[in-house]
Amino acid sequence: MKETFFRTLSWLHTWAGLLVCWVLLLIFFAGSLSYFRHEITLWNEPELHQGVYQDYQANTLENQLDKNQQYIETHSPAAVQRWMIDFPTERKPFQSVSWQLPPEKGQRRGKTEEHVALADGSSMISEVRESRGGNFFYRLHFDLHYMSAITARYIVGVCTMFMLIALISGIVIHKRIFKDLFSFRRDKGTRSWLDAHNVSSVIALPYHLMITYTGLITLMLMYIPWTVNTAYSGDNQAFLKELNPARQTEKAAGISAPQMQLSQLLPQVKAAWGDTPIKQVTVSYPKDQNSQVTFYQNTGKDVTDEANILIFNGVNGELKYASPHDASGASATYDTMMSLHTARFAAPLLRILFFFCGLLGCAMIATGTLMWAIRIRQKQQKRLDKGDKPSLGLRLVEGLNFMFILGLPLGTVAFFYANRLLATHFSGRSEWEIHSFFIALVAMGVWAFWGRSRRQWQMALILIGSLYCALPVLNAFTSPSNLIDNIQSHQWPLVGFDLLAVIFGCAMLFASNRLTLIAKSPVARPALNKTHVKADKTRRSELTSQSSLEEAKS
Amino acid sequence: MMPEFMPIVGILGLSYLSLALFALAKFGHFKDVFNRPPAQWQSYLLTLFAWLLLAFSLSACVSDQGWAYGSILFMGIISLAAMLVILTLSFSPRYLPIWIVTSSVLTSTLLFASGI
Amino acid sequence: MSNTSAFETSTQPSADQIRSFSQISRRIVQWFKQEQSVFAFKVFARASAALLTGYIAAASLACLLTVVLPMPRLESTLTANMLSFLFYAVAIIYAFCVRKTWHAWRDLGLVSLFFFGLLQICGQ
C-alpha cells in the first residue's frame, strides 16, 4: 500500500493499534486484575476476613458433607434448582454452601445465595455484603458493561483481531529485535518512549501472542460458528454433546423423590480418585427424580480447564459418568489453550508472573499511544508555537490517553472505596460499586477535556497514588482484621492486596515526582527529558516534548 | 511456601545470569559495562554460555514442576529476568558484573539446597 | 447577461447557471482527485477487503478444513476453528500488502469462491 512492504506494515501497525488501543487498555487492565479475581472478591467481603480461613481436611469429609447437607436442607427455600457445597481450595480457603434459586423472568440463571462456614464449625455467616468483587473485572474484560454480552463480545473480538495484527506487524517491522533486545536508552525523548514500547512488547512477546490468540480461541465458536454447521449439518446439540459429554440436558422431572445422603457416595469417589482433593459437590434438581450429584476434583496445577468430575444419580447413587483420563489431539489442544488463557492452574508465584506480563501488556499499549501523541505534537510544534490550536486528532488522542491511562486506575480504586464506604445493605449495592468505577473513568474524561498538560498529569497521579496508598488504611478501618492481623494469621491474599495497593500508589507518586523534575529542569537544550523506567508497574505518565515545557492549553 | 520459593528464586538467578551474558555478548552493552569493545571470540563464548545456562534453567524448571507447568513457569521467569537485566543495564551498567557474581552465588546455593 | 426577458419563464438554464454548475462539478472532481482523498479511498477499499472478504475467506477455508481433514469430526471442527484466526490475520495482511488496491478485493474474493466451491464438492 505504501512504497515498501516495511512502510505498509508500519502504517498498519500504527493504525491497527491506534483505533482500538483504549478499549484494549481496558481489556488488558481488567484481564490482568482478573488473575487475582478470587483474592479481590475476598478483600471485597470484609465479613469473611476473620475466623473463616481453613485448609482442606481430607479426614473429616464425611462429617462435613453430612453437616452441610443438613444445613442446606434446613435453611434453603424449597424451590431451589441447585445445591453447591464448596470445600477449601488454595485460592478460596473457606468452606461454604450455596444454592441457586430458579431464574426470574428475563434471567437465564437464578440468583445464587452463599453462606460461608466459620473455621471452628460453630456457625455459618449468611450476611455478607453484596459485591461483585473480582468477578466484575473478570466479566468486564470480555463482556464489557452497559451492553448486552453478545454485542460486547463481538466488540472485544474485533479489538483482539486488531491486536493480533498489531502484534504480527510489530514483530515484522522491528528489524533490530535481537540487537535491541536489552536496550533501554533513558533521557532521550521519543527514543526512550520507543525503547519502552519495544521492551514491554518483546520481553513478554510469547505471552502477548498467547493471550491474544487464546482469547480469540476462547470465544471461537461465537466468532466463526459455521464450522459446526458444516461438520454436524446444523445439529449444534450433537456437537456440544461430543465436546462436553457430561453436559446435563435433562431437566427436572417435577416428581419429587428422596435425596440420598451425599456422604454415602464418598467410598465410590475415593475408589475412583484416591486422595485427590475434592473441590465442590453439586446437586442439580435436589429432591427430584432426575437429580444428579456431581463431584468436582481440585485439578491443582494441571494445565487443563476441563473439570474432572464424577456424576451420580441423586436418588439411588449409581455412577452415571466419570471423566475420561485421556483426551488427545484437537480437544486436548483446545483445552490447553483455554486453560493457558484463564491460568486457573497457576500457583501464587506463577500467578504473579502472569499478572506482571499482563501489566507489561498494558505498558505496551500505553507507551505506544503516548509515543504517538508526543510525535504528533512534535510535528505540530511549529504551528503551536505560532499560537495555532492543536489538531482535532491530537487533542482527541491526548484526551483519551489522559482519560484511560489515569482513569482505569482511578476507577479501580473508586470501586474499592465504594465497596467499603457504601452502606452494607441496600438493593443494587453491587451495581453501584460498578457505577463508581465508570463514574471515575468519565470524570477523568471530563478532566481531560479541561486540561491535559504535564501539570494536570502530575496532579492526577498524586491524587490516584495517594488513594492507592491509603487503601490499607481504609481496610484497617472498615474490616475486622487489618494488615498486621492478616500477616499474623497468615491470610496472605489480603496481605498481598494491601501490599500491591501500596506498591501501585508509590509507583504513581514516584512518577508524578519525575514529572516535577521535568517541569523544573532548565530550559537549556538538549532538554534533560527523564523518562520513567518501570514498565511493569507505572502507567506511562511523562509527556516529553523537545521544545516546550510550558503547559499546553486544550 | 518457603521450600517452593527456593528453587524458583534460584532459577530466576540462573535466568538473570543467562540473559546478562546474552546482553554482554552484544557490542553496545559490553562497551557500556567494560569500557572496551568485545572481541569476536569473547562475544561467541558469552553467547554459548548464555544458551547453556538458558537450557539448564529450562530443565531445572521442568524437573521441579513437570513439563507443562514447568515450561510455562520458565517463560514467566525469563520475562522477569529480562526486565531485571534491562533495568541493570539502563541504570547501572558498571555494576552488571557485580550482579552477575551475586546471582551466580545465590543461584548455586539455592539450587544445591533444593537438590536440583 | 441573460437574454430572457423578465416575463419569460426560463426552462433552460442561464449561462450564469451553467458556468457555476460546471465550476462546482470541476471542484468536486478536483476534490476527489486530491491526494488525500485518493489515499483515503484506497485505505477504505483495502480495509473493507481485509475485514469483510478476509473474514469470509478465513471462514470458508475453516469450513472446508472441517470436511477435508482426516480426523473425527469433533477434532477437525476444533482444529479448523482454531486455525481460522491465523488465516484471517494472513488475509488482512495480504489485503494491505498486495500491489494494487483492487487486487485485494479480487484475490480474496476469488479465494473465498474457490474454497466455497471446494466445500460444495467435498461436502458430498
C-alpha cell at A69: 447437607
Residues A270-284 have a mean pLDDT of 85
Whether A32 and A69 map to the same domain: the answer is: no
Residue A60 belongs to some domain of the structure: yes
Residue A552 has pLDDT above 60, yes or no: no
Provide the residue count of chain B: 116
Portion 489-548 of A in contact with B at CB < 8 A = 533, 535-536
Whether A122 and A146 map to the same domain: the answer is: no
Residue C31 has pLDDT above 90, yes or no: no
Whether A438 and A390 map to the same domain: the answer is: yes
- Nearest by CB: A242 against C67, C74, C89: C74
The band of A388, judged by pLDDT with boundaries at 50, 70 and 90, is confident
Domain boundaries, position A363: 5-42+142-203+348-520
Residue A430 belongs to some domain of the structure: yes
Put simply, the answer to whether B26 touches A353 (Cβ < 8 Å) is: no
Q: Which pLDDT value is given to residue A486?
A: 80
The string of pLDDT tens digits covering residues C4-30 is: 555 555 567 778 888 888 888 888 888
Residues A130-156 have a mean pLDDT of 92
The string of pLDDT tens digits covering residues B4-35 is: 778 888 889 899 999 999 999 988 888 888 88
Whether A123 and A154 map to the same domain: the answer is: no
Q: Which pLDDT value is given to residue A190?
A: 83
Residue A294 in 3-state DSSP?
Answer: strand
Whether A31 and A156 map to the same domain: the answer is: yes
Computed over every residue of chain C, the mean pLDDT equals 85
Residue A210 belongs to some domain of the structure: no
CB A309 within 8 A of CB A325: no
The more confidently predicted of residues B110 and A195 is A195
Interface confidence (ipTM) of the complex: 0.93
Taking the CA of residue B108 and the nearest CA in chain A, the distance in Å comes to 20
Put simply, the answer to whether B82 touches A185 (Cβ < 8 Å) is: no
Portion 27-56 of C in contact with A at CB < 8 A = 42-43, 46
Taking the CA of residue A333 and the nearest CA in chain B, the distance in Å comes to 12
Least-confidence region, from A34-38, A423-427, A497-501, C62-66: A423-427
The more confidently predicted of residues A216 and A84 is A216
Residues with Cβ within 8 Å of A16's Cβ and at least 6 positions away in sequence, in order, are: A162, A163, A165, A166, A169
Taking the CA of residue A218 and the nearest CA in chain B, the distance in Å comes to 19
Q: Which pLDDT value is given to residue A491?
A: 84
The string of pLDDT tens digits covering residues A301-315 is: 888 887 788 888 878
Residues with Cβ within 8 Å of A443's Cβ and at least 6 positions away in sequence, in order, are: A407, A410
Largest CA distance in chain C: 87
Residue A417 has pLDDT above 60, yes or no: yes
Residue A104 belongs to some domain of the structure: yes
Residue A514 belongs to some domain of the structure: yes
Whether A175 and A300 map to the same domain: the answer is: no
C-alpha cell at B39: 572481541
Residue A208 belongs to some domain of the structure: no
Whether A432 and A514 map to the same domain: the answer is: yes
Taking the CA of residue B18 and the nearest CA in chain A, the distance in Å comes to 13
Strand arrangement, sheet containing A124-125: A124-125, A112-117, A96-100, A82-86, A278-284, A292-297, A309-313, A319-322
Is A19 near chain C, with CB under 8 Å? no
Under DSSP, the state recorded for A129 is: -
Whether A99 and A61 map to the same domain: the answer is: yes
User: How many domains, chain A?
Assistant: 2
Q: Which pLDDT value is given to residue A325?
A: 63
Name the most confidently modeled range: A88-92, B34-38, B41-45: B41-45
Q: Which pLDDT value is given to residue A519?
A: 59
Find, among A425, A420, A512, the residue nearest to A473 by Cα: A420
Whether A384 and A476 map to the same domain: the answer is: yes
- Nearest by CB: A331 against C42, C75, C89: C75
Domain end: A277, A308, A323, which one?
A: A323
Q: Which pLDDT value is given to residue B96?
A: 84
Domain boundaries, chain B: 2-114
What percentage of chain A exceeds 90 in pLDDT? 38
Residues with Cβ within 8 Å of A472's Cβ and at least 6 positions away in sequence, in order, are: A482, A483, A498, A501, A502
The string of pLDDT tens digits covering residues A219-241 is: 999 999 998 888 888 888 888 88
What percentage of chain A exceeds 70 in pLDDT? 92
Omega within 30 of 0 (cis) for the link into B7: no
Q: Which pLDDT value is given to residue A197?
A: 94
Residue A82 belongs to some domain of the structure: yes
Residue A151 belongs to some domain of the structure: yes
- Nearest by CB: A199 against B75, B86, B91: B86
